[in-house]
Amino acid sequence: MGSELPVIDVSPLLAGGSAATVARQIEAACVDSGFFYISGHGVPADLITRMDAGARRFFELPLDAKMKISMARGGRAWRGFFPVGGELTSGRPDLKEGIYFGAEREPDGRPLSGRNLFPDEVPELGASVLRYLDVMTEVAQAVMRGVALSLGLDEDYFAESYTADPTILFRIFHYPPATADDGWGVGEHTDYGLLTLLLQDDNAGLQVHSARGWIDAPPIPGTFVCNIGDMLDKLTGGHYRSTPHRVRNASGRERLSFPFFFDPGWDSEVPPLPSRPRLDGGRARWDGQDLRAFTGTYGDYLLSKVAKVFPQLRADVLD
Ligand SMILES: O=C(O)CCC(=O)C(=O)O
Ligand SMILES: [Fe+2]
């Protein structure tokens, strides 16, 4: 299966080469659908293989073993395992199970900060996830340099502001095989922050609501799917799109995906860029929300979303 979405070689952004062409490609993709693939990212294939194998071992464990690291134990740090049906998207339970991770640090009192929960039964998973977080943070900073250049900003614009102390979330999802009658693996939604870098195994399932209708974003070996989130849409006054997407695993096999979210610092406010007029003419979003009307910090925005996807965690996280 092919994809209509472009593949952009981001190696010049990592190697310090001339990035003018990459920046132009990023702008075109972000104006069009907000989705593209990246190649030339330098993430070691053996790291991905190790993490994928560890994740598969984990999901094969009996439910009671997986529940030993359940999200209830993660509390305010918003970490750990949730079983199939445990997460809601747009108010409906998703057909997936998964583990939530984030940057590994001592709790600092703010919601979502803290240490990860790793399964004792699969000791190698923790090491590969922590390594992956470090490597992907570098890749995300590099792609954000390209995004900055694509907007006519200094290449370090984001690194010196919003992503000097980024909010980093990482998830590993396991989608059982599903039919159209079963509902969605992940319901239609947009991502919340700046950038999502998605690793998929070799099973298709991701669909993107482009201007031309719903299109598939099947896995392409050696690439990540990159999409922009609500905060880049908001920053650019709608010039760049945070585009709705959803998942149905119709492959007949187990599907694993690994979304890495690279978002503004918890306390960052995200007003429109001064150079950007509001371009969307007040266009209504898929969910009726007006992003531009939101004021407050990224942390406030994220918490309002957490309360919707994990209502039972609301009290833990918001108290
Ligand atoms: O699993 C996927 O392919 C996409 C997941 C996703 O959209 C998300 O976690 O925000
Ligand atoms: Fe998403």
Instruction: Please name the residues in contact with 135: beta carbons below 8 A apart, sequence gap of 6 or more.
Output: 43, 44, 47
Collapsing DSSP states into helix, strand and coil, what is residue 174? strand
129 contacts 231 by C-beta, under 8 angstroms: no
Q: Which helix (H) or strand (E) holds 142?
A: helix 123-150
Alpha carbon distance 206, 248 (integer Å): 7
Query: What domains are defined for the chain?
Result: 7-318 (2.60.120.330)
Ligand 1 pocket residue status of 217, Cβ below 6 Å: no
The residue written with tokens 């509902």 in the block is 183
Q: What is the pLDDT of residues 208-260, one digit of tens each?
A: 999 899 999 999 999 999 999 999 999 998 999 999 999 999 999 999 999 99
Q: Whose CA is nearest to atom 3 of ligand 1?
A: 206
Q: Which ligand lies nearest to the CA atom of residue 218 in the structure?
A: 1
Q: Whose CA is nearest to atom 9 of ligand 1?
A: 259
Alpha carbon distance 130, 134 (integer Å): 7
What does DSSP say about strands 7-9 and 35-39: parallel, antiparallel, or unpaired? parallel
Q: Which ligand lies nearest to the CA atom of residue 255 in the structure?
A: 1
Q: Whose CA is nearest to atom 10 of ligand 1?
A: 191
Q: Model pTM?
A: 0.93
The yes/no answer to whether this complex scores an ipTM above 0.90 is yes
Q: What is the pLDDT of residues 131-176, one digit of tens each?
A: 999 999 999 999 999 999 999 999 999 999 999 999 999 999 999 9
Ligand 1 pocket residue status of 218, Cβ below 6 Å: no
In sequence order, what are the beta bridge partners of 262?
Answer: 168, 195
Query: CA of 109: how far to CAs of 112, 114, 244, 286, 296, in Å?
Result: 9, 9, 32, 34, 19
Ligand 1 pocket residue status of 3, Cβ below 6 Å: no
The whole-angstrom distance between residue 210's C-alpha and the CA centroid of its chain comes to 18
Two tokens, residue 313: 């965690």
Percent of the chain having pLDDT more than 70?
92
Which of 196-205, 263-272, 301-310 has the largest mean confidence?
196-205
Angle value at C-alpha 235, between 231 and 240, nearest 5 degrees = 85
Q: Where does residue 181 rank: exposed (0-12), middle (13-18), buried (19+ CB within 10 A)?
A: exposed
Alpha carbon distance 72, 293 (integer Å): 33
Cα(63) to centroid(ligand 2), Å: 25
Report the pLDDT value the prediction gives residue 131, as an integer from 0 to 100: 98
Ligand 1 pocket residue status of 186, Cβ below 6 Å: yes
Q: Which ligand lies nearest to the CA atom of residue 200 in the structure?
A: 1
Alpha carbon distance 239, 84 (integer Å): 36
